[in-house]
Structure 1
């Protein structure tokens, strides 16, 4: 089965600030845009930032405990290759990103072992990027 790109539209209360973040921190290519929204090629998927007043979760994220860490909910992101994940982690550290959860290996030595990291965009949207050395572990129980 081949994967099709997903489409995700998220609220941002400051379009220019969010646009600069997704363009400059990730180096994402911009697609169509207007004053109140911008399309991005988000690792082969379509991410759209839309102007919207600040949402409650953008001020105070709810969390769930996973592997001893408080994971923000909601969040979104992409499963990268191991090499892409390592490069992104290094880039974000160089940018002095304020991580919610620093890059680390989750479920080490267990089924579903994965690299993960969490941080916020400038409008309070939580992002998670993860990678598996064995992609067969993505949905493993």
Structure 2
């Protein structure tokens, strides 16, 4: 499966903390930047953090129930290879990350079985990272 990289620009109210989070915690290489924004290579995609006032969703996240957990909305993230997801989960645990939803396997034994984890960046933006042992299940009903 060959995918085109996405571009996503998100608001952050603490540019230095968000820069550290994406650069150091995730190890994303930094691209262009100014005093108000920073580009990152986010797992092959272009993520731009833009300094902006706190948004309503950063202040108080909404959630919807999925597989017995409250999934924050909005959120974004990446579907990784299973082994890459496991490495990321271990890296985040080793750094003492506070998870919104701890790493686990969702829909176990069902269509769409997937590994998932949710966390917040320092500015309250919700992220999800997931993996499928069978990537063909990504859009399965």
TM-score range, shorter chain: over 0.9
What TM-score, normalized by structure 2, do the two folds share? 0.99
In structure 2, list runs of 5 or more residues that go unmatched. none
Structure 2 SS opposite 1:63: strand
Residue number in structure 1 paired with 2:73: 73
Residue number in structure 2 paired with 1:29: 29
Residue number in structure 2 paired with 1:97: 97
- Cα distance between partner residues in 2 of 1:56 and 1:50: 16
Residue number in structure 1 paired with 2:14: 14
* Superposed displacement of residue 2, structure 1: 2.4
Residue number in structure 2 paired with 1:117: 117
- Cα distance between partner residues in 2 of 1:32 and 1:48: 9
In structure 1, list runs of 5 or more residues that go unmatched. none
Structure 1 segments of 4+ aligned residues over 4 angstroms from their partners: none
Residue number in structure 1 paired with 2:56: 56
Query: CA offsets, 1:20-79, max 9 Å, x none?
Result: 000000100000000000000000000000000000110110000000100000000000
- Cα distance between partner residues in 1 of 2:40 and 2:17: 14
User: Is 1:83 equivalent to 2:86 in the alignment?
Assistant: no
CA RMSD of aligned residues (A): 0.7
- Cα distance between partner residues in 2 of 1:41 and 1:2: 17
Structure 1 SS opposite 2:10: strand
Residues 123-138 of structure 1 correspond to what in structure 2 (within 5 A)? Answer: 123-138=123-138
Aligned residues: 141
- Cα distance between partner residues in 1 of 2:97 and 2:46: 23
- Cα distance between partner residues in 1 of 2:42 and 2:125: 15
- Cα distance between partner residues in 2 of 1:51 and 1:33: 11
